[in-house]
Amino acid sequence: MLKENPKHYNEINIIYETIWRSLVEGVNNRSSDFHTFALATTDGKRSAVRTVVLRSCSKKELSISFHTNNYSNKINEIKENSNVEGLFYSKNKKIQIRISGQALIFNDVDICHTIWKNMSQDARDCYMYDEKPGTRIKNPKSIKKNTENKANKNFSLININIQSIEWLYLSSSGHRRVSFNKENSFVGDWIVP
């Protein structure tokens, strides 16, 4: 646990830079707290949240991405309502980051084929099941496997186009909370923690 507040504690511009540094670290370092995030979706009737792995981020394009099975429930939810939120939390750094935006689904297009080609067999295995994720089964040991080609088509890339980022840091010497929005060009506003 950090004993002292980070130097950028009161510097809104530096906070924005550290958010992006944390995301880059999350993409590149499997042991980073920012390597996974909780993705919240809603189809209008119910909400759902689950852990996904952060696969890429772009400060320039204002986006983050993750991979998923095209037949998973989250895909239907995103098709119903593309507004999603990603939640990152580092216990070590005492930082929570919430990223809201619109999710865009890419399936069976060039970018997906390229990612698939470079994917490890372990990662590919997540897309090999014959049945849709979430289907009831009698025996977990006897799930039928797809061909590589079908599995490739099960794979989707989801890009989240960021609309807003909220940063929260809890400290005994005073909490800090900042909101960055597309409308004000991600300049950042202090908000009540």
Ligand X SMILES: Cc1cc2nc3c(=O)[nH]c(=O)nc-3n(C[C@H](O)[C@H](O)[C@H](O)COP(=O)(O)O)c2cc1C
Please report, as ranges, the residues that interact with ligand X according to CB under 6 A: 36, 48, 50-53, 66-69, 72-74, 133-134
Nearer to ligand X, 105 or 168 (CB): 105
Rounded to 5°, the CA angle 140-144-149 comes to 135
Q: Strand pairing partners for 160?
A: 64, 103
Distance of alpha carbon 23 from alpha carbon 27, whole angstroms: 6
Nearer to ligand X, 50 or 175 (CB): 50
Distances (CA, A) of 14 to 26, 31, 65: 18, 24, 23
Half-sphere exposure of 11 (CA within 13 A, CB side): 9
Considering the complex, what minimum distance in angstroms separates the CB of residue 19 from ligand X?
A: 20
Q: Strand pairing partners for 103?
A: 160
Nearer to ligand X, 102 or 171 (CB): 102
Nearer to ligand X, 38 or 168 (CB): 38
Distances (CA, A) of 80 to 83, 101, 104, 180, 190: 9, 14, 12, 26, 33
Nearer to ligand X, 53 or 62 (CB): 53
Considering the complex, what minimum distance in angstroms separates the CB of residue 37 from ligand X?
A: 9
Considering the complex, what minimum distance in angstroms separates the CB of residue 103 from ligand X?
A: 12
Q: Which amino acid is at 186?
A: F
Considering the complex, what minimum distance in angstroms separates the CB of residue 105 from ligand X?
A: 12
Distance of alpha carbon 68 from alpha carbon 175, whole angstroms: 35
Considering the complex, what minimum distance in angstroms separates the CB of residue 77 from ligand X?
A: 7
